A = this chain, B = another copy of it.
Amino acid sequence: MVTAPSNPALKPSLKAVGEARSTITGNPLNPVELHQMNAYWNACNYLAVGMIYLQDNPLLKKPLDPKHIKNRLLGHWGSSPGMSFTYIHLNRLIKQYDLNTIFLAGPGHGAPGILGPVYLEGTYSEIYPDKSEDEEGLKRFFKQFSFPGGIGSHCTPETPGSIHEGGELGYSISHAYGTVFDNPDLISVVMVGDGEAETGPLATAWHSNKFLNPIRDGAVLPILHLNGYKINNPTLLARISHEELEQLFKGYGYTPYWVEGSDAETMHQAMAATLEHCITEIQQIQTEARRSGTISRPLWPMIILRSPKGWTGPEEVDGHKVEGFWRSHQVPLANIKTNPAHFKLLEEWMRRYKPEELFDETGRLIPELRELAPKGDRRMSANPHANGGLLRKALRMPDFRDYGVEITKPGRIEVGNTQPLGIFLRDVMRNNMTSFRVFGPDETASNKLQAIYEVSKKVWMAEYFPEDTDGSELATDGRVMEILSEHTLEGWLEGYLLTGRHGFFSTYEAFVHVIDSMINQHCKWLEISNQIPWRSSIASLNLLITSTVWRQDHNGFTHQDPGFLDVVLNKSPDVVRIYLPPDANTLLSVSDHCLRSTNYVNVIVADKQVHLQYLDMDSAIQHCTKGLGIWDWASTDAGEEPDVVIACAGDVLTQEALAATVLLKEHFSDLKIRFINIVDLLRLQPETEHPHGLSDRDFDSLFTLDKPIIFNFHGYPWLIHRLTYRRTNHRNLHVRGYKEKGNINTPLELAIINQVDRYSLAIDVIDRVPKLKVAGAHTKEQLKNQQIECRRYANEYGIDKPEIVNWKWPE
């Protein structure tokens, strides 16, 4: 029996105690440098504590008084010292090597560890002049932290230099890789919390190194922070042996370097030596690859930093271990105002950092320490890559009209809606070969977007076989990103957009729920960023949802879920857009619009299979510009008040709605039908609720004041009610959609089960138009029999009847 490494000899070294132990040794810092680095770190730590506790007396010029303490103590001390420790060691190398570097803080609530150095290097005061570099500014800086009306304890959008808030954990590594694709000079340093490292998205994101090209892309330097603890628990990775952890990262394809300990002096030397080694190794890898032009996947360096949680904080409080334990996760000393012992401990703790030696009389960091930070844009807090809108250039767009499908009459020919889009995206890529990428989980070809491969293939830095040339479409310089992890793709795309580039993500409708929470967080980031004047606009996140619920002939029930729209609609109307183009030309028009837009999450729903085509390019543009409209050619109301409104949103649903009108016309030649198609879903909302919303007047004039509306909707039907419940004619609105019924079904069978098929819709009309109530009884029976016959056919032959499959709008 092989047992785990319970080897007692290894055990002590699982603790972050004592003199530094590191893979790379040496003493690169001379005594003066060492002293200065440590003083700068003290200043950072002092600020972190100040943010959590103080609302006044920020430099402790006066003895600490309870009234200086915030009424409510919020914030997280635990990971802050390790973060600022890393930050300032990076500063040294940025200066020394003139590095172009940004910093991503993975640990959840570590903002004090970042805000400190950001303030000390002057950026904070430049952006927020009231948080000036003096006593008064520092007081405001402290007070605003985790304070009503102030800023949070994550690296929120308000934080200069942040592109990664980290409120939800798991995305720091994929974000970091996203930032360096096509940024050959950028080194993104990402601190990964060992709590966060337990999440699934993070556990697979380490494999991002198999998609990084050392010639074309920049580099990511991951630093796993073995802080040791979560809220109340040890972390997994901090409690397995060195051997196991090292093997894990070698298995992930990295060269891991250790820095462990608690002794400040030796830890500074170890970190300085190790970071420099890693930066040099990155530069060597890049130089060699760029010089030789030879591509092989390097084993990129990464650092495992084991330092005590709450490092330099109170060692023990009320008889409990605090430094180096989970008890320092949040506020290590509570009840300061009421507990004199804690009060005393706090003042001692803060004074240990010797603020009087760090700041001058006015409250400004002393000049010799100020010198340690990089200058201008080289400061990680001022690097334009972390305010990517500054670097964003509009895409050079081909004219989407040139990619349209030739339509002479509506509903006569079938085309795969995503195919022309694929050709369009190919040329978008051709025109923007350093600022545009396409993302998808193993489905770019399956989604019929494979024309893209004509100009750029899938990036692949792992091993190749000879047969890969037969259609696998792999290349080390590919610009199509495919990995079977929606989390990783979404993280890459967000990182890519946040650093000023553009992208397009296509994915499976049912499984886009995998990234519900990531989309939520990105929407929240956009919503807040929009309110921050200095944040420049970034390209929208464009999400094509395909392989939709209505075409799951062989995948069945698990692959049927159109509910992502419900999730997206919960986010702020300022950042969310939803489009359901019914055919190829409208899909092109919508996609062009989305690719040009900024600061939105654009969701486009379009199935990848062949569908009937309705609108020529001019009509498509007009229709998409309005967002919804009457299709006169499909209507029989001749501009008069109709008997019924048939509305639809979504490709399959539009076809069935059209087929229903044909059935109705056949049976009831004098029925006045108004046919409305909706592309831009948010047009349905009142204008007071969403910027795209229709006025009540316009809505009423389209949907009438009192006529029945039969609405055939792509998703769950209640979503339409949610959007329209305030409208005058809502009481006559009858919505059909997916009702969570399905299995292995032919397309028509699935439609029938959920009552979105032509027969059900025609029956709905008969049931709701007063003049058909009696006159239509016989027709209704006929329609029901046709449904039964269609289902019987499908169950016997495994396919829909040819007249259904080949159905077209009549000439």
Name the B residues within 8 Å of A465 (CB-CB). Answer: 14-15, 234
Pull 27 A–B residue pairs with CB atoms less than 8 Å apart, ordered by A.
A1-B298, A2-B298, A3-B296, A3-B298, A3-B299, A4-B253, A11-B463, A70-B798, A72-B553, A148-B746, A152-B554, A152-B558, A167-B555, A167-B558, A167-B559, A168-B511, A198-B204, A199-B200, A200-B488, A240-B253, A240-B463, A244-B250, A244-B251, A320-B471, A321-B470, A718-B722, A721-B722
Asked if A775 is at the interface (CB within 8 A of a chain B CB), the reply is no
Chain B residue with Cβ nearest A240: B462
The answer on a CB contact under 8 Å between B799 and A524 is: no
The answer on a CB contact under 8 Å between B154 and A558 is: yes
Asked if A96 is at the interface (CB within 8 A of a chain B CB), the reply is no
The answer on a CB contact under 8 Å between A321 and B467 is: yes
The answer on a CB contact under 8 Å between B484 and A255 is: no
Asked if A663 is at the interface (CB within 8 A of a chain B CB), the reply is no
Chain B residue with Cβ nearest A165: B558
The answer on a CB contact under 8 Å between A3 and B513 is: no
Asked if A803 is at the interface (CB within 8 A of a chain B CB), the reply is no
Chain B residue with Cβ nearest A560: B524
Instruction: Tell me which of B150, B203, B725, B744 contacts A146 (CB under 8 A).
Output: B744
The answer on a CB contact under 8 Å between B207 and A236 is: yes
**Can you list the 9 inter-chain pairs with the closest CB atoms, starting with the nearest?**
A167-B558, A248-B251, A200-B200, A74-B554, A239-B462, A203-B204, A4-B297, A513-B517, A152-B556
Asked if A38 is at the interface (CB within 8 A of a chain B CB), the reply is no
Name the B residues within 8 Å of A484 (CB-CB). Answer: 169, 195-196, 198-199, 230, 235
Name the B residues within 8 Å of A571 (CB-CB). Answer: 740
Interface flags, A313-335, vs B, CB<8A=1, else 0: 00000001100011100000000
CA distance A721 to B724 in the complex (A): 10
Interface flags, A457-469, vs B, CB<8A=1, else 0: 0101111110110
Asked if A445 is at the interface (CB within 8 A of a chain B CB), the reply is yes
Name the B residues within 8 Å of A718 (CB-CB). Answer: 722, 725
Name the B residues within 8 Å of A553 (CB-CB). Answer: 72, 74
The answer on a CB contact under 8 Å between B743 and A152 is: yes
Asked if A104 is at the interface (CB within 8 A of a chain B CB), the reply is no
Chain B residue with Cβ nearest A724: B725
Asked if A789 is at the interface (CB within 8 A of a chain B CB), the reply is no
Interface residues of A in 688-719 (CB under 8 A from B): 716, 718-719
Asked if A149 is at the interface (CB within 8 A of a chain B CB), the reply is yes
- Chain A contact-residue range equals 35 or more
The answer on a CB contact under 8 Å between A153 and B240 is: no
Name the B residues within 8 Å of A725 (CB-CB). Answer: 718, 721, 725, 730
Interface pick from A405-413, A561-569, A668-676: A561-569
Interface residues of A in 762-811 (CB under 8 A from B): 794-795, 797-799
Name the B residues within 8 Å of A555 (CB-CB). Answer: 152-153, 167
Asked if A205 is at the interface (CB within 8 A of a chain B CB), the reply is yes
Name the B residues within 8 Å of A542 (CB-CB). Answer: none
Asked if A359 is at the interface (CB within 8 A of a chain B CB), the reply is no
Asked if A510 is at the interface (CB within 8 A of a chain B CB), the reply is yes
Instruction: Tell me which of B205, B462, B554, B744 contacts A149 (CB under 8 A).
Output: B744
Asked if A55 is at the interface (CB within 8 A of a chain B CB), the reply is yes
Asked if A446 is at the interface (CB within 8 A of a chain B CB), the reply is yes
Asked if A482 is at the interface (CB within 8 A of a chain B CB), the reply is yes
The answer on a CB contact under 8 Å between B442 and A231 is: yes
State the copy count for this chain: 2
Instruction: Tell me which of B4, B233, B797 contacts A296 (CB under 8 A).
Output: B4
The answer on a CB contact under 8 Å between B463 and A6 is: yes
CA distance A513 to B75 in the complex (A): 24
CA distance A521 to B740 in the complex (A): 12
Q: A148-B794, A570-B716 are in contact. List 12 more A-B contacts (CB 8 A).
A: A3-B299, A15-B465, A147-B744, A153-B555, A167-B559, A199-B200, A203-B207, A232-B445, A234-B462, A516-B516, A528-B557, A721-B722
The answer on a CB contact under 8 Å between A326 and B472 is: yes
Asked if A116 is at the interface (CB within 8 A of a chain B CB), the reply is no
Name the B residues within 8 Å of A442 (CB-CB). Answer: 195, 230-233
Name the B residues within 8 Å of A170 (CB-CB). Answer: 200, 514
Asked if A619 is at the interface (CB within 8 A of a chain B CB), the reply is no
The answer on a CB contact under 8 Å between A71 and B799 is: yes
CA distance A485 to B725 in the complex (A): 38
Name the B residues within 8 Å of A150 (CB-CB). Answer: 744
Interface residues of A in 416-459 (CB under 8 A from B): 442-446, 458
Interface residues of A in 238-257 (CB under 8 A from B): 239-241, 244-253, 255
Chain B residue with Cβ nearest A444: B232
Asked if A641 is at the interface (CB within 8 A of a chain B CB), the reply is no
User: A346 CB to closest chain B CB, in angstroms?
Assistant: 17
Name the B residues within 8 Å of A528 (CB-CB). Answer: 557, 743
User: A173 CB to closest chain B CB, in angstroms?
Assistant: 11
CA distance A520 to B566 in the complex (A): 14
CA distance A297 to B153 in the complex (A): 37
Interface flags, A518-560, vs B, CB<8A=1, else 0: 0011001001100000000000000000000000011111110
The answer on a CB contact under 8 Å between B151 and A744 is: yes
Asked if A284 is at the interface (CB within 8 A of a chain B CB), the reply is yes
CA distance A513 to B169 in the complex (A): 12
CA distance A284 to B719 in the complex (A): 56
Asked if A661 is at the interface (CB within 8 A of a chain B CB), the reply is no
The answer on a CB contact under 8 Å between A234 and B474 is: yes
CA distance A721 to B1 in the complex (A): 61
Chain B residue with Cβ nearest A488: B200
Name the B residues within 8 Å of A246 (CB-CB). Answer: 251
User: A605 CB to closest chain B CB, in angstroms?
Assistant: 15
Asked if A375 is at the interface (CB within 8 A of a chain B CB), the reply is no
Name the B residues within 8 Å of A462 (CB-CB). Answer: 234, 236, 239-240
CA distance A474 to B485 in the complex (A): 33
Name the B residues within 8 Å of A471 (CB-CB). Answer: 232, 320, 327
Chain B residue with Cβ nearest A466: B321
Name the B residues within 8 Å of A740 (CB-CB). Answer: 527, 570-572
The answer on a CB contact under 8 Å between B234 and A554 is: no
Asked if A381 is at the interface (CB within 8 A of a chain B CB), the reply is no
The answer on a CB contact under 8 Å between A798 and B71 is: yes
CA distance A731 to B727 in the complex (A): 10
Asked if A156 is at the interface (CB within 8 A of a chain B CB), the reply is yes
User: A277 CB to closest chain B CB, in angstroms?
Assistant: 12
The answer on a CB contact under 8 Å between A4 and B298 is: yes
Q: Assess A247 versus B251: contact at CB under 8 Å? Given A74-B554, A200-B204, A484-B199.
A: yes
Name the B residues within 8 Å of A482 (CB-CB). Answer: 233
CA distance A561 to B168 in the complex (A): 12
